Amino acid sequence: MRKYTPKELGRFRDRTRLVLAGRDPADSFGFVNPPIVRGSTVLYQTVEDFNLRKARFSYGTRGNPTIEALETAVNSLEGGAGCVLCPTGLLACTLPLLAALSAGDHILIPDSVYRPTRIFADGMMKRLGIESSYYDPLIGADVATLFKPNTKAVFTEAPGSQTFEMQDIPAIVAAAHARDAVVIMDNTWATPLYFDSHRFGVDYTIQAGTKYLAGHSDVLIGTVSARTPEQYKTLRNAWEALGVLIGSEDAFLTLRGSRTLKVRLDAQQKAGLEMAEWLQARPEVARVHYPALPSDPGHSLWKRDFTGASSLFSVTLRPVGAKAVAAFLESLELFGMGASWGGYESLALPFDCSAYRTATTWKAEGPTIRFHIGLEDVEDLKSDIDAGFQKLRQAA
């Protein structure tokens, strides 16, 4: 077994790449997995070596072998010029904004964006003199009409957080690049396995690795990949200047989780689609928001650009009171009520985004719930929800 570069790994299929990426047994004393390396200080043998920082790693904040192994694996997945690792998915969302934008610049952000990204834009970015405008996520190429002379970036997230609007990424990329603006995308839902964002021209790609990449609900981590060497230099400089670093244990656990990413995603995609179709047929459900469903408004865009769908989607229930929704959620045995997703366990979470949309109006027929389908048996999940719906009807 030898070490493979991301370029060499390109000749293999996804499952093989994920098994091989970031591994170098010759550098790990023959062990299959790279060891967990901790440390801050790196020692040099001579003054000349110290002055030139002549070492594989110069200081703890510049990485170590464990972190480098995960970077290599992510690079092989993303196919970009390079990546950086962040201690949370939220920091992965905010770092490219800080790297690409300066005081006086303007950015366009979809109204369906992950809410903490919106909070960062409306708070810290505004305080730093960076202007943000929100746009209809379904606008496509017409995003060009919203550009200002100082627009330097367009943020995208497909599908949208919570409400799952499917954006026309190629059209947005074309509009942005025609005006020398960069495109930043939160690609956590699909991962690079189901949407090759750099191939579609996205400049900075974000993954909340906490979700599917790590896959076991025991790590907080984020990744940002840059499309070109120049963009990677900009990103890396910001990463180093801010002193961003992840723990070696988190890098190890994420690398371990990545080995089964393809297997888990394929299994969860199948289960997610089956559950979405089943819920769509339920009398308690008004609509399922999931681009992989042929009935979804974004299905044609998803089918054109994506090669798969993760197991995260939302449903709009037919009108019932808050008491009935609480009775439903609190009675579920197999669905936890938690804010994260992407792990092996199923989750169900109520949400209402109507209060913080500014460019569009979110109107749902009834209460909305976001589901994540894990690795449990689908028939058991159906039985659990069916029992929950009985509680909902009793409380209505």
Q: Output the furthest CA–CA distance in the chain (Å, rounded).
A: 77
Q: Dihedrals φ, ψ of 359, to 5°?
A: -95, -20
Task: Please report the pLDDT score of residue 19 as a whole number.
Answer: 85
pLDDT at 347 over 70: yes
The two three-digit tokens of residue 283, written as one number = 């009398």
Contact at 8 Å (CB) between 315 and 368?
Answer: yes
Say if strands 106-110 and 151-157 run parallel, antiparallel, or are unpaired.
parallel
How far apart (Å, rounded) are the C-alpha atoms in residues 230 and 377?
46
Whole-Å CA distances, 386 to 178, 278, 365, 372, 382: 51, 11, 21, 16, 6
Task: Please report the pLDDT score of residue 1 as a whole number.
Answer: 66
- 66, 67, 72, 74 alpha-carbon torsion, rounded to 10°: 120
Flag whether 289 is in a domain.
yes
Residues 242, 292 share a domain: no
Flag whether 384 is in a domain.
yes
pLDDT (average), residues 354-365: 94
Q: DSSP string spanning 98-167?
A: HHH--TT-EEEEETTS-HHHHHHIIIIIHHTT-EEEEE-TT-GGGGGGG--TTEEEEEEESSPTTT-PPP
How far apart (Å, rounded) are the C-alpha atoms in residues 156 and 175?
13
Residue 314's DSSP bridge partners are 289, 370
CA–chain centroid gap for 348, Å, is 19
User: What would the pLDDT profile of 248-279 be if each residue is shown by its tens digit?
Assistant: 999 999 999 999 999 999 999 999 999 999 99
Q: Which of 194, 227, 242 is the last residue of a domain?
A: 194
Higher pLDDT, 333 or 34: 333
What confidence category does residue 361 fall into, taking pLDDT thresholds of 50, 70 and 90? very high
For residue 114, what are the contacts with CB-CB under 8 A and spacing of at least 6?
93, 157, 161, 186
pTM beyond 0.75, yes or no: yes
Task: Please report the pLDDT score of residue 31 as a whole number.
Answer: 74
Task: Please report the pLDDT score of residue 368 as a whole number.
Answer: 98
pLDDT (average), residues 169-180: 98
How far apart (Å, rounded) are the C-alpha atoms in residues 166 and 110?
11
- The fraction of the chain above a pLDDT of 70, given in percent, is 99
Residues 219, 112 share a domain: no
For 66, the domain range is 1-84+208-259
Q: Which of 244, 259, 274 is the last residue of a domain?
A: 259
The two three-digit tokens of residue 61, written as one number = 């904040």
Residues 293, 220 share a domain: no
User: What would the pLDDT profile of 93-137 be if each residue is shown by its tens digit?
Assistant: 999 999 999 999 999 999 999 999 999 999 999 999 999 999 999
Residues 349, 272 share a domain: yes
Flag whether 65 is in a domain.
yes
- The one-character DSSP state at 395 is H
Flag whether 126 is in a domain.
yes
How far apart (Å, rounded) are the C-alpha atoms in residues 314 and 364?
12
Residues 217, 190 share a domain: no
User: What would the pLDDT profile of 273-322 be if each residue is shown by its tens digit?
Assistant: 999 999 999 999 999 999 999 999 999 999 999 999 999 999 999 999 99
Domains in the chain, number:
3
Residues 74, 93 share a domain: no
Q: Which of 90, 74, 18 is nearest to 340 (CA)?
A: 90
Flag whether 199 is in a domain.
no
How far apart (Å, rounded) are the C-alpha atoms in residues 23 and 2?
8
Residues 24, 54 share a domain: yes
Q: What is the CATH number of the domain that holds 71?
A: 3.40.640.10
What confidence category does residue 210 fall into, taking pLDDT thresholds of 50, 70 and 90? very high
Residues 130, 279 share a domain: no
For residue 203, what are the contacts with CB-CB under 8 A and spacing of at least 6?
100, 182, 183, 184, 226, 227, 228, 231
Q: Dihedrals φ, ψ of 28, to 5°?
A: -125, 30
Give the 3-state secondary structure of residue 89. Answer: helix
Flag whether 79 is in a domain.
yes
How far apart (Å, rounded) are the C-alpha atoms in residues 244 and 142?
36
User: What would the pLDDT profile of 49-92 be if each residue is shown by its tens digit?
Assistant: 888 888 788 777 788 999 999 999 999 999 999 999 999 999 99
Residues 352, 216 share a domain: no
Give the 3-state secondary structure of residue 314. Answer: strand
User: What would the pLDDT profile of 222-242 be if each residue is shown by its tens digit?
Assistant: 999 999 999 999 999 999 999
Task: Please report the pLDDT score of residue 27 as a whole number.
Answer: 75
Residues 213, 78 share a domain: yes
Give the 3-state secondary structure of residue 86. Answer: strand
pLDDT at 4 over 80: no
Phi-psi region for residue 79, left (φ > 0), alpha (ψ -120 to 50) or beta?
A: left
Residues 166, 18 share a domain: no
Flag whether 12 is in a domain.
yes
Q: What is the CATH number of the domain that holds 342?
A: 3.90.1150.10
pLDDT at 16 over 90: no
Percent of residues in the chain assigned helix, strand, coil, to nearest 5: 40, 15, 45
Residues 298, 163 share a domain: no
Q: DSSP string spanning 319-361?
A: S--HHHHHHHHHH-SSEE--S--SSSSEEEEEE--TTT-SSS-
